[in-house]
Structure 1
Amino acid sequence: MSRIELHRRQVQRGMVIIDEYLSKDPLTVPRMEDLARASGASQYHFHRIFLAQTGESPHEYFNARRLQIALSSLLSNKEQKLIDLALWLGYESHASFTTAFSKRFGLAPRQAVLDLDAAARLIEAPKKLVRTKKIEIEHDVSNERAFNFYYRSQRGVTDGQFFAHENVVQQIGDFLNANGNEVLVPTGAFPKSPQGMNDQMVDGHFGAFSFADIDQNWSEQVQRFEEGRWLKFPHIGEFQYLHQTWNRAYQFVLSHSGFELRDEWPIEVYFQSPKNYQPTEKSAEVWLPIK
């Protein structure tokens, strides 16, 4: 196992534990020493690799997930009292909850209740989240001409991973073989961000895109992506840790005022097969649509 794979596995364990804490009792904050011990690392090392792999410290990740729960709760029950929600999530007061919520989402909880459409857009993808600390990550900016994405859908994410079933790989392979690998690029797309490491209600789309129109009967679902700019982030090695690259990519965008996301599905493009990949080479790229 390479060092990067070991670090990703340790971070993955920490992220799963944080989500388990939140699902059981949002009032209980996991201790750094417990996260580090469960991940097989020292506290200093775990904090360092968690930040490097996700773009957030464990504490920042915990707070971000806790505020995602608050946003989802407001959308599902706009009649609930904000002070009750704040106390349930472990905030000392209505004011401290409002400050944290506003800093994260760019609008106050009361505004989210009054404008449910705006709040729902924040669930779809973190397009308007506020962040001040700048982080760096390898990336590229390119302009791509319009393309069509031919796709099927699968619901649910497990331990942060979409498309964990091998039949998805087989289905994409069948599509490529039937229509010519030279004109199709295997791809996944995600209209909404998962609300946690295990979200069985979120949809992911898998298939392939092509710059040319193709006559195919693999799928009746086609999404047109217009010409535009994309931020591209490479992912090296195992596919099960792609969500860590996604997290880091979004944290990069949030910390750089020069980039603004546009209303388009973010996608991931595959360069190797999960069944047969080179662990030290680029296996995928995360593409974020920017204006």
Structure 2
Amino acid sequence: MDWVERMNGAISYIEDHIAGDVDYETASQIACCSVYHFQRMFSFIADVSLSEYVRRRRLTLAAFELQNSPVKVIDLALKYGYESPEAFTRAFQNMHGTTPTAARKNGTKLKAYPRISFQISIKGVAEMNYRIEDAPGFSVVGLQQCVDTDQAFRIVPDMWANAAREGLFERLWEIRADAHPVRGILGVCADGGFGTNEQFHYIMSIVSGQEPPEPMIKRDFPEATWAVFEAEGGPEGIGEIWKRLYTEWVPTSGYELADLPAIECYLPPEENKNELWVAVVKK
């Protein structure tokens, strides 16, 4: 139940600061994970991004205030983080389908998004094939791009499609290391827990000891313990494992997510599987 309590504690922090600055770094610290993992975990469990949840809650509370107090629209705009009454009005109308002024009238239809709460749910219908690996340090070479966490599900597939068209995977395969437990063409999710921004680096790469050709980069990662999950199918299978990692495995496994990269390993087609490597530490 510690996991559930920490996630609900993070939500309490967000709700307590909903009319001010919501610091995702602080929320992730309460949840005992990195900013990257916290935002990903939230999105998979709640089926809505963290920033969208905050936006919906602010506009829900703004509607309550409009109906129950004489507060001015300009004051509400400033209170809930909008730069101008016009920006607030546009956001309000996009969600509620009406203007803030009209929302004061009885009979106006409005939308309310309640505060979220987390509960543990043990499904156990389908097995998760995994193993724990102690892997030595390694280096990856590849192309790195900064990605907004909230936009990752849209941006990353486009990155892979562009890389395939430009022949990146063939160039990476030529410089791969001969033997390392981390195999295949990699999608490395790095740096999401450092700083207070809402971005991470996604590196399409290969494990390699060679120096990177331009415009590629080289990243070194330390020895660590990893939970390695098998995923059937293509990227969709990896996506399903991500969701089950956060909703089923982490709450009950006895492990915490380490503040290290997560690695999507796309193996040769003849293996009929891919792998997700997530760095972990024992509780």
The normalised TM-score by structure 2 is 0.50
Q: What residue is the counterpart of 2:135 in the other structure?
A: 144
Work out which of the residue numbers 209, 220, 226 in structure 1 matches 2:207: 209
Q: What residue is the counterpart of 1:114 in the other structure?
A: none
Give the drift of 1:235: 1.2
Cα deviation digits, residues 111-144 of structure 1 (max 9, x gap):
xxxxxxxxxxxxxxxxxxxx52234422111111
Q: What residue is the counterpart of 1:191 in the other structure?
A: 190
Q: Could you tell me whether the CA contact under 8 Å between 1:263 and 1:289 is conserved in 2?
A: yes
Q: Could you tell me whether the CA contact under 8 Å between 2:142 and 2:218 is conserved in 1?
A: yes
Amino acid at match of 1:289: A
Could you list the runs of 5+ residues in structure 1 that have no partner in the other structure? 1-59, 105-130, 194-200
Q: What residue is the counterpart of 1:133 in the other structure?
A: 121
Q: Could you tell me whether the CA contact under 8 Å between 2:135 and 2:224 is conserved in 1?
A: yes
Q: What residue is the counterpart of 2:31 in the other structure?
A: none
Q: What residue is the counterpart of 2:104 in the other structure?
A: none
Identical positions, percent: 14
Aligned mates of 1:180, 1:160 — CA distance in 2? 22
Give the drift of 1:167: 2.8
- 1:69 to 1:254, Cα distance in 2 relative to 1, 3 A: farther
Give the drift of 1:69: 1.7
SS state at 1:187 partner: strand
Aligned mates of 1:263, 1:242 — CA distance in 2? 20
Work out which of the residue numbers 165, 168, 174 in structure 1 matches 2:171: 174
Q: Could you tell me whether the CA contact under 8 Å between 1:160 and 1:241 is conserved in 2?
A: no
The normalised TM-score by structure 1 is 0.49
Equivalences for 1:32-47 in 2 at 5 Å? none
Aligned mates of 2:254, 2:225 — CA distance in 1? 13
Give the drift of 1:168: 3.8
- 1:143 to 1:78, Cα distance in 2 relative to 1, 3 A: farther
Number of residues paired by the alignment?
179
Q: What residue is the counterpart of 2:101 in the other structure?
A: none
- 1:162 to 1:259, Cα distance in 2 relative to 1, 3 A: farther
